Structure 1
């Protein structure tokens, strides 16, 4: 479980869930397309480096693409009711994914095969101050990875430092006047309008900032592997929502805790089933499906008996989306 808990993909999803928490937890936006922001961040980063741009420019391109997407998505949709907004956002994310898979874009996006990690990982690995080709084992465990390489400690270090930075930024934002304004929009839009505030502008700001967190998560997500569009489909959005509900919406640490528990719980359930259930009854592929089913049941029970999540406050969720 420790291996999964500290992997870069877990940190990447945690960052995306922090962004989703700004959307839903603090503002009440029912965004079901956070994977779309992750996909654009990953594409912007990987394509830019693949085509020869330096890494700082690639990061700016990734954020810029996510920013423009948030504007295009938000201008016509942020006045929609919550359920309609959910339909639009998940549809938009799927349109992005299928567009990236088009064969006509193979020389640009890699089409369905994606972009190999070797095409864009080099500049990031070159930033490492850790030794090359040297393995290190995590204390009191059997986790051994290169300090700097393909699947390395350097990526894990950067990923989790970014998680801490993002959580701290949200901590500051949530306690600022702007954060209180987000909560006001979430609780009662009409009351905020009566105070002369532009509710649409506040929602747009939240959509953009949460989307930028999603784009950053997408960049981290592809560093240990490859840029493959199907890896950031609607399932990833559902994983993000599950993690948010597990940890607790409208909290600072809830998204991070929920993401770690989500991934670790799946591995624990699958490992336990593999160990206890004979292969003649349930093979490895079936125990994986069983693990997802069990997580679904856990989520349903959590929503029924503790809808605020593990560290959430029930009073924070008394609003209509």
Structure 2
């Protein structure tokens, strides 16, 4: 029982981590590309890396943080224009080839020893060189605290039945939330939104009661960066909701389904695709800035594998949905840590050592993704009708 509690606590810490939130922001941008527009972008990590470099280099060289943020967005904007201009008039396969190649070019340029004074070469830029202006904005104060200090340990001294009952309630509540989100017309608009909000708040409080997380208020990886990261996730989700609910969002879906039909109506398909590429890239740049705040800017940490993680999270949660990218990111990273901790706790070192458990977790996640694509390609929250991609 204690091992299970330890594993679940580790999963909760990973689910709440700022880097999980950062990837969720990048996946929201990828959802605009792939989910709503049908653009096969295999280089989202390049947008993240450019955002991180613009942010970190500016502050490292003495510029204000706001200038670093604008430089990060500017670099992603220019990259999207350069990337999209020669390829968006072609079909999706060409965009996939160009984006993955361009992402590798950005990564290798970042590793170049000729740019050591700017990018730090392969060693990257330490977080201590650019993190202070961000932490200086914190109003959380010093010390540390536990989010929701009242937890399972305060009821019957944390007896096993308390945890088992709580886990059962959590599973039932999550199942109810998924059912409501996928209910379609079974609930009226206002009632459905209110029920979703209540269920989300209840589930978050219940999970924090079962798996309390303690951190510094304003540390390198403390509550301040978590608060900002997850606030940005909510803000980005709301912005995407507004975008895709507008006539422009309907154009994106039209292009995904049949761009020739949209073109026959007199719409500039190339311009709309470029707008989608730029907006999704800006979300990626913002995700990259958040991704490096509790760590460092290291080019190899934002390579091909990170883009594939983004696609895994997107397909898991559900493409062309508002909350699918967020849910998929949380489940992906939490599940990976859960597999890793479970293997470390129950598999002898003679079978799997520490490094091998990390690799094993990726294997299991990869197999799970294959099964999802085969048996539920729309993901947890997705709709099969939203996956008729014209690529």
C-alpha displacement of 1:79: 1.8
Aligned partner of 1:168 in structure 2 is 238
SS in 1 for 2:85: helix
For each residue in 1:164-186, what CA deviation from the matched residue of structure 2 results, as whole angstroms up to 9, or x when unmatched? 00000001111000000100111
Match of 1:136 among 145, 153, 158: 145
Match of 2:23 among 7, 10, 13: 13
Aligned partner of 2:172 in structure 1 is none
Alignment of 1:71-82 (within 5 A): 71-82=81-92
| C-alpha separation in 1, matches of 2:262 and 2:365 | 38
For each residue in 1:144-176, what CA deviation from the matched residue of structure 2 results, as whole angstroms up to 9, or x when unmatched? 221012111100000000000000000111100
SS in 1 for 2:86: helix
Establish whether residue 125 from structure 1 lines up as the match of residue 100 from structure 2. Answer: no
Aligned partner of 1:97 in structure 2 is 107
| C-alpha separation in 2, matches of 1:313 and 1:111 | 44
Aligned partner of 2:58 in structure 1 is 48
Structure 2 unmatched runs, 5+ = 1-10, 152-210
| C-alpha separation in 2, matches of 1:320 and 1:178 | 18
Establish whether residue 194 from structure 1 lines up as the match of residue 264 from structure 2. Answer: yes
Aligned partner of 1:283 in structure 2 is 353
Pairwise CA RMSD: 0.9
For each residue in 1:207-255, what CA deviation from the matched residue of structure 2 results, as whole angstroms up to 9, or x when unmatched? 0000000000000000001111111001000000000000000000000
Aligned partner of 2:320 in structure 1 is 250
Aligned partner of 1:23 in structure 2 is 33
SS in 2 for 1:227: coil
C-alpha displacement of 1:57: 1.2
For each residue in 1:284-317, what CA deviation from the matched residue of structure 2 results, as whole angstroms up to 9, or x when unmatched? 2111111111111110110001000010000000
SS in 1 for 2:215: strand
For each residue in 1:266-287, what CA deviation from the matched residue of structure 2 results, as whole angstroms up to 9, or x when unmatched? 1111111122211111112111
| C-alpha separation in 2, matches of 1:19 and 1:37 | 10
| C-alpha separation in 2, matches of 1:84 and 1:190 | 18
SS in 2 for 1:188: helix
Aligned partner of 1:300 in structure 2 is 370
| C-alpha separation in 2, matches of 1:126 and 1:289 | 37
| C-alpha separation in 2, matches of 1:281 and 1:188 | 51
Establish whether residue 182 from structure 1 lines up as the match of residue 259 from structure 2. Answer: no
| C-alpha separation in 2, matches of 1:15 and 1:89 | 19
| C-alpha separation in 1, matches of 2:338 and 2:133 | 35
C-alpha displacement of 1:198: 0.3
Aligned partner of 1:218 in structure 2 is 288
Aligned partner of 2:183 in structure 1 is none
C-alpha displacement of 1:320: 2.3
Alignment of 1:143-158 (within 5 A): 143-158=213-228
Aligned partner of 2:189 in structure 1 is none
Structure 1 unmatched runs, 5+ = none
Compute the TM-score of the two structures, normalised by the length of structure 2: 0.81
| C-alpha separation in 1, matches of 2:31 and 2:134 | 28
C-alpha displacement of 1:190: 0.8
- After superposing the two structures, state which structure 1 stretch, 268-277 or 194-203, moved more: 268-277
Moved over 4 A (4+): none
Structure with higher Rg: it is 2
For each residue in 1:39-76, what CA deviation from the matched residue of structure 2 results, as whole angstroms up to 9, or x when unmatched? 00000000001111111111111101110110000001
C-alpha displacement of 1:142: 5.0
| C-alpha separation in 2, matches of 1:166 and 1:232 | 21
